[in-house]
Amino acid sequence: MAGARWAQSELLDKNPKADVRVFAIWFRMYPGDAESKWPRGLLTDTRVEHRWDEPKAAGRWFLTRLTTLRPSRGGDGKFPQQADALWDCYLLFDRNAAWNDTPTGVLSWGYTLMRTRDQLLKDFQFAIGAGQ
């Protein structure tokens, strides 16, 4: 939850005119996680689209393909935890990303979101043209 709060305050709130779309995919990872307990007060920006993914389809797909996404820039270089799905992470794509069999246009990814937030902030600012 800390990562979602950070993304809302540091990326979205501070860049209200940035032309971005955020997809937040939530699923059960801990006992007690449930759609009924989904923290809807996080990531309240209108540019965010939320999805509950009970079978963890997106997390499983990305976990098995993370090393094949190009360009491969893994945040701080640490591969995600041993789990059945990629979670508590970010994947940042440029605006020309194409979503076919495997998405293109990966700018960076990181795990955990809070541990790699400095890289995300730097890459996010680059992607939106901040400071140019």
pLDDT at 75 over 60: no
Query: CB-based contacts of 116: which residues, under 8 Å, 6+ apart?
Result: 75, 76, 90, 110
pLDDT in tens, 9-62: 999 999 999 999 999 999 998 898 899 988 878 899 999 999 999 999 999 998
99's tokens: 């979503």
pLDDT in tens, 106-115: 888 888 899 9
pLDDT in tens, 88-123: 899 999 888 888 888 888 888 888 899 999 999 999
Report d(CA 132, CA 125) in Å as an integer. 10
Tell me what pLDDT residue 109 has: 87
Q: pTM value?
A: 0.86
